[in-house]
Amino acid sequence: MNSHSVLNRTLLTIAGLVLLGGGLLVLTGGLDLYRRWGLAPPAGWPLTSPHDTLLPAHDRTRWTGEDWWWPTVIAALAILIALALWWLLAQLRHRHPGRLPVGNPPVDGVGLYDGALSDALAADTARLPGVNEARTRLIGHARQPHATFDVTLDPDARPRDVHHALESTVQRARQSTGWEHLPARATLRVASHRPHRAE
């Protein structure tokens, strides 16, 4: 799991817990389960009686007279908006490494753009037997880029052979850039086609 996945999953868990907890709190109060099941909620527990309301007017206006209340509300909303916007934008783009070092040890002043390398990888992959179409992307930091292959196979391809052939592609990329490692992941699909019997 990468850090992006961890972040998304953590925030989803938090949101899920808030929704689940809030929903259960209202349900327990609204269906009067405390009384029916003989439960004693702790002192100060909200929404214990079915006649309570979610946000009584005196709760809503409790601090509205104070000087600090509205600036605080506005600041809190603005921060939430900024965080939500940042989180949303993070879903829409991948982190690309940009300019990559070349050579071992890296040569000063020489850089390789990720797009050039991924184009070369894709062209190299598309030439492999059994490959119908290949798309490649480099993601991650410039210090530790990794490649993702999205490969569409011909109807008569052997996925295991293509998988093993990808080794040579990664190896060539590694040799031509002088890197010791290029972690890669590949997703193999099969071009959709009508059923056919011919070998």
Shortest spacing between CB 37 and another protein, in angstroms = 16
In angstroms, the Cα distances linking 92 to 4, 86, 89, 95, 176 are 12, 10, 5, 10, 31
Shortest spacing between CB 143 and another protein, in angstroms = 5
20-59 positions binding another protein, by CB under 8 A: 20-27, 29-32, 47, 50-57
- Structure-block tokens of residue 24: 């259960």
Residue 67 is a binding residue for another protein (CB under 8 A): no
Residue of 18, 39, 116, 123 interacting with another protein (CB under 8 A) = 18
DSSP assignments along 112-178, one per residue: EEHHHHHHHHHHHHHTSTTEEEEEEEEEE-SSSEEEEEEEEE-TT--HHHHHHHHHHHHHHHHHHHT
DSSP state of 42: P
Residue 66 is a binding residue for another protein (CB under 8 A): no
Residue 128 is a binding residue for another protein (CB under 8 A): no
122 vs 153, beta carbon nearer another protein: 153
Decide: 39 and 33 in contact? Cβ < 8 Å.
yes
Residue of 37, 40, 65, 160 interacting with another protein (CB under 8 A) = 160
Residue of 101, 117, 122, 134 interacting with another protein (CB under 8 A) = 101
Shortest spacing between CB 56 and another protein, in angstroms = 6
